[in-house]
Amino acid sequence: MIDLEAIRHNVRRLAAVASPAQVMAVVKADAYGHGAVPVARAALSAGANWLGTAHITEALALRAAGIEAPLLAWLHTPESNFAAAVAAGIDIGCSGWELERIVAAAREQERPARVHLKVDTGLGRNGATLDAWDGLVGEAMEYQDQGLLRVVGVFSHLAVADEPERPETDEQLDAFREALAIAQDAGVDPEVRHLANTPATLSRPDTHFDLVRVGLGLYGLSPFEGQSSAELGLQPAMTVRTVVSHCKDVPAGQGVSYGLNYRTGNTSTLGLIPLGYADGVPRIATGGPVRVAGVNYPVVGRIAMDQMVIDLGRLNVSAGGPSVLGAEAILFGNGDDGGPTAEDWARAAGTNNYEIVTRISPRVPRRYINEVPASDGSRP
Ligand SMILES: *Cc1c(COP(=O)(O)O)cnc(C)c1O
């Protein structure tokens, strides 16, 4: 279940923090598992000005859904369809090698490409090194003078903004300023200079420039260890829920799931939860919480492809005790009332909250609530 009012709330919150910088809603990876098209529409309706994806294919899908907002895709291979991007008016991130192909696409489409030049200020992934930056900027400006492209943006990406005490963000900021000065000297006059991701948007106003690119915060999740969504004024948008699909009494010593790694200590009642690693629940995350009837139970035994088990203690279902068959089972949600969170599952799986929401698989149906804002603008 995806709460689009939570998405809109988070956009308004992030836009207020970022102001006067604009907001790019990062909806790559199917909006971190939340659904790219509905999230993009909700984000735009709440004041996001831009959309961002990793792949051109992801951006094309948004255009095919009728979304016309400025849209940047930044991760390409030599097999990427730059011509389709130019034809669809998709802005293209360029680290260097793409430039010739982007220009060829612009010639073919008889339409100037919109390019954001990317500089590597320290992350060591995409982006031109500072050594190559001068050359890239010079070439891009020659093509701009020929009318083949327009340098719309200059950008970079941060490595450790989620750990605000580390010094490398300052070093990256210095390098970004240097790259901007080089670009300006070469005549680049970008509409948008952008560097900040969610953690930098929340903790480093000096990284905001003209535009912030927010992903995680849009979904209401905290990028900081030891700081909750609520403390940041954000609302988690995704709830993963199902219902208990079997409930039965078992004797003491009953083994549970493949490997029989767990055995009941006493006569006990097991609840079967019909979600497993094919649904995106990490197989390694035994111990992760499932909330049933107001109690968070840890998953016991191995998580299988389709299912996992909780030990409910002794309910004595066979003697007329309360069965939880059909009861709602929540893996994670907005954390209200002590409910489990994506962070709890991240801890159980040894990963971060980004991965927990993003890996929820297409087999889990996405149901959207609050698709239309309440008429008085308040939360229903
Ligand atoms: C994914 C991504 C973002 C968003 O990062 P969050 O930490 O989720 O806000 C921003 N910029 C780039 C280049 C990205 O790849």
Calpha distance 254→309 (Å, rounded): 12
The DSSP secondary structure of 79-141, one letter per residue, reads TS-HHHHHHTT-EEEE-STHHHHHHHHHHHHTSPEEEEEEB-SSSSSSSB-HHHHHHHHHHHH
Residue 238 gets which letter from DSSP?
A: B
CATH code for the domain in which residue 245 is found = 2.40.37.10
Residue 375 lies in a domain: no
The Å distance, Cα 368 to ligand 1 centre, comes to: 24
Give me the pLDDT at residue 380, please.
45
Give me the pLDDT at residue 374, please.
74
Whether residue 241 is predicted with pLDDT greater than 90 in this model: the reply is yes
Atom of ligand 1 nearest to the CA of 93: 13
pLDDT confidence band for 376 (50 / 70 / 90): low
- pLDDT tens, position by position, 288-336: 999 999 999 999 999 999 999 999 999 999 999 999 999 999 999 999 9
Two structure tokens written together for 56: 């051109």
Whether residue 147 is predicted with pLDDT greater than 50 in this model: the reply is yes
Residue 236 gets which letter from DSSP?
A: -
270 neighbors 309 (Cβ within 8 angstroms): yes
- pLDDT tens, position by position, 88-137: 999 999 999 999 999 999 999 999 999 999 999 999 999 999 999 999 99
How many other C-beta atoms lie within 10 A of the C-beta of residue 183? 24
Whether residue 379 is predicted with pLDDT greater than 70 in this model: the reply is no
Query: What backbone torsions phi and psi does residue 142 show, to the nearest 5 degrees?
Result: -60, -45
Tell me the pLDDT of the chain averaged across its residues.
97
Domain boundaries, position 309: 240-358
Judgement on whether residues 34 and 175 belong to the same structural domain of the protein: yes
Report which residue type is found at 47.
G
Judgement on whether residues 136 and 208 belong to the same structural domain of the protein: yes
Report which residue type is found at 355.
E
The Å distance, Cα 167 to ligand 1 centre, comes to: 20
- The mean per-residue pLDDT over the stretch 187-193 comes to 98
Residue 364 lies in a domain: no
- The mean per-residue pLDDT over the stretch 175-191 comes to 98
With a 6 A CB cut-off, is 74 part of the ligand 1 pocket?
A: yes
Judgement on whether residues 73 and 124 belong to the same structural domain of the protein: yes
Nearest CA to ligand 1 atom 1: 215
- pLDDT tens, position by position, 37-94: 999 999 999 999 999 999 999 999 999 999 999 999 999 999 999 999 999 999 999 9
Judgement on whether residues 30 and 144 belong to the same structural domain of the protein: yes
Task: Establish whether 258 is a catalytic residue.
Answer: yes
- The mean per-residue pLDDT over the stretch 262-282 comes to 98
Atom of ligand 1 nearest to the CA of 214: 9
Atom of ligand 1 nearest to the CA of 24: 10
pLDDT confidence band for 373 (50 / 70 / 90): confident
Calpha distance 202→224 (Å, rounded): 10
Give me the pLDDT at residue 355, please.
98
Question: For tokens 């011509």, what's the residue?
Answer: 83
Judgement on whether residues 32 and 174 belong to the same structural domain of the protein: yes
pLDDT confidence band for 375 (50 / 70 / 90): low
For residue 371, CA distances in Å to 25, 178, 335, 375 come to 17, 43, 21, 12
Judgement on whether residues 180 and 246 belong to the same structural domain of the protein: no
Two structure tokens written together for 18: 């970022």
Task: Establish whether 118 is a catalytic residue.
Answer: no
Tally of structural domains, the chain? 2
Interacting residues of 163 by C-beta distance below 8 A, sequence separation 6+ = 225
CATH code for the domain in which residue 84 is found = 3.20.20.10
Judgement on whether residues 179 and 244 belong to the same structural domain of the protein: no
